């Protein structure tokens, strides 16, 4: 009976080792995002965006487990491990494709949900509670960094808190040398940034959408290769 191809065996091992390394990188980066103070300062509009980091932690852990199963299954020629690897990878591929289809179908609902989240942000800008004041200071830093003002419509989003000091200045304060440029407008007697911060968020999402799609497509190709490698090696072991 035919033996197991050494080329197939070690190709499967190298593939899964790289797959495991990818899991380690994803897990490490996502944990850093979750705990790093510097990274947390970037999430000024909505702390629920950390749910994406939590999802990546789960994905990284799953990829590490699958990579370990694939490596051990290839070296030890274990059909059980290879079968578990195949099933796990197939489930991930199915969920990935399903998520892409649902994302395309419900894109308008996603935008509506984002607008609702941003509307909650407007309420925080207009409140005077301690929690709201902490958020306002973080959001003010976001405005200065991205040269935007308010959330949905502009400086009016701040309501009565518009002229209240936030940090070392006031909300939306235009801090460029030429306030008459297109970036700033006059509002209630002072120059403020013209662009609502919602445009910054949407621009960020749209600019990274193609990158996300490219990564997802690349992962799908890798997953299909992994399925092919594992099933081929599984069949060779079975025939041995």
Q: What percentage of residues in the chain have a pLDDT greater than 70?
A: 80
For 204, the enclosing helix (H) or strand (E) is: helix 197-239
Dump pLDDT digits (tens) for 69-80.
888 888 888 888
| pLDDT at residue 43 is higher than 60 | no
Determine contact, residues 233/81, Cβ cutoff 8 Å: no
Q: What is the mean pLDDT of residues 131-146?
A: 86
For the chain, the structural domain boundaries read 6-108+209-239, 126-199
Q: How confident is the model at residue 1 (pLDDT cuts 50, 70, 90)?
A: very low
* CA pair distance 200, 202, nearest whole angstrom: 6
**How confident is the prediction for the chain on average, in pLDDT?**
79
Determine contact, residues 14/47, Cβ cutoff 8 Å: no
* CA pair distance 26, 19, nearest whole angstrom: 11
* Strand ranges for 119-216 from DSSP E: 165-166, 169-170, 184-187, 190-193
Got the DSSP string for 110-168? HHHHHHHHHHHHHHHHH--SHHHHHHHHHHHHHHHHHT--SSSSSGGGGGGGTTSEETT
In whole angstroms, how far apart are CA 68 and each of 6, 53, 88, 228? 19, 23, 12, 17
In whole angstroms, how far apart are CA 174 and each of 125, 177, 193, 212? 18, 9, 5, 33
Quote the pTM value. 0.60
Dump pLDDT digits (tens) for 55-65.
777 878 888 88
Q: Inter-axis angle of helices 79-105 and 50-75, to 10 degrees?
A: 150
Q: Virtual CA dihedral for 221, 224, 225, 228, nearest 10 degrees? A: -160
Q: What is the mean pLDDT of residues 212-228?
A: 78
Q: Which residue has the tokens 């003010």?
A: 140
């Amino acid at each position: 009976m035919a033996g197991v191809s050494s080329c197939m065996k070690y190709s499967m091992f190298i593939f899964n080792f790289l797959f495991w390394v990818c899991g380690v990188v994803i897990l490490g980066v996502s944990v850093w995002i979750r705990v790093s103070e510097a990274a947390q300062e970037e999430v000024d509009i909505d702390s629920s965006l950390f749910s994406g980091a939590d999802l990546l932690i789960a994905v990284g852990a799953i990829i590490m487990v699958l990579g370990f199963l694939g490596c051990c299954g290839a070296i030890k020629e274990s059909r059980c491990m290879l079968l578990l690897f195949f099933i796990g990878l197939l489930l991930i591929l199915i969920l990935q494709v399903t998520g892409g289809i649902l994302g395309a179908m419900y894109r308008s609902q996603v935008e509506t949900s984002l607008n609702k989240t941003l509307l909650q942000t407007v309420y925080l800008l207009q409140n005077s509670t301690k929690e709201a004041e902490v958020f306002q200071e973080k959001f003010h830093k976001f405005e200065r960094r991205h040269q935007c003002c308010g959330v949905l419509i502009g400086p009016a989003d701040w309501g009565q808190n518009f002229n209240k000091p936030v940090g070392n200045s006031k909300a939306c304060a235009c801090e460029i040398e030429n306030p008459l440029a297109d970036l700033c407008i006059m509002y209630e007697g002072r120059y403020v940034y013209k662009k609502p911060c919602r445009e910054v968020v949407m621009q960020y999402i749209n600019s990274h959408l193609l990158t996300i799609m490219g990564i997802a497509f690349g992962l799908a190709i890798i997953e299909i290769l992994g399925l092919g490698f594992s099933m081929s090696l599984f069949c060779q072991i079975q025939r041995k």
